[in-house]
Amino acid sequence: MRVLVVDDNRDILDLIERVLATYGHDVVLARDGREALAQEAATTPDIILLDVNIPYMNGWEVCRRIKARRNVPILLLTVRAENADYDRSVAAGADDHIAKPFEIADLLSRIERFAPYQKAER
C-alpha cells in the first residue's frame, strides 16, 4: 500500500517511514501542507497519515482539500487530543484521529483496517 506521511518533525517522519517500509509499504513523505497536496496529487497514495500542526496549511485544511477531490482514507496524527479537536478532524473529513504519542502497533493496526477498503476501491 502506498502511504503518504505528512509531518514537520523529521524524527517522526523517519520513524514512521522505517516502520512502514519494514512492513512492505511504499512510503511518500511531505513536511508541510503545500508539499502534502503536491505529493498527494503526484503519487495518489492509498492512505494518508497527516499531522494537524504543519507549516503553510494545517492538516485539517489539507484534509478538506484532498477529500474534496477524492475519497482516500486520512488518519490525522496530532498532539491535539481534546474532544473539540477530534470533532474538528471529523468535520474536516478525516477517517481517524490518532493522538501523539502513539504506539506503533496501534498505528499499524489502524492503517491495516483500511487495506480491504483500498482493494475494493481499485
pTM of the model: 0.91
Q: What is the pLDDT of residues 44-60, one digit of tens each?
A: 999 999 999 999 999 99
Which domains, and CATH codes, for the chain?
2-111 (3.40.50.2300)
Q: What is the pLDDT of residues 62-103, one digit of tens each?
A: 999 999 999 999 999 988 667 788 888 889 999 998 888 899
Which secondary-structure segment (H or E) carries 15? helix 10-22
Residue count (the chain): 122
Q: Which residue has the cell 497514495?
A: 45
Q: Which residues contact 66 (CB under 8 A, 6 or more apart)?
A: 37, 40, 48, 72, 74, 93
Distance from C-alpha of 56 to C-alpha of 36, rounded to nearest angstrom: 10
pLDDT score of 1 more than 70: yes
For every residue of 60-107, DSSP letters joined together read HHHHHHHHHH----EEEEES--SHHHHHHHHHHT-SEEEESS--HHHH
Q: pLDDT above 90 covers what percent of the chain?
A: 76
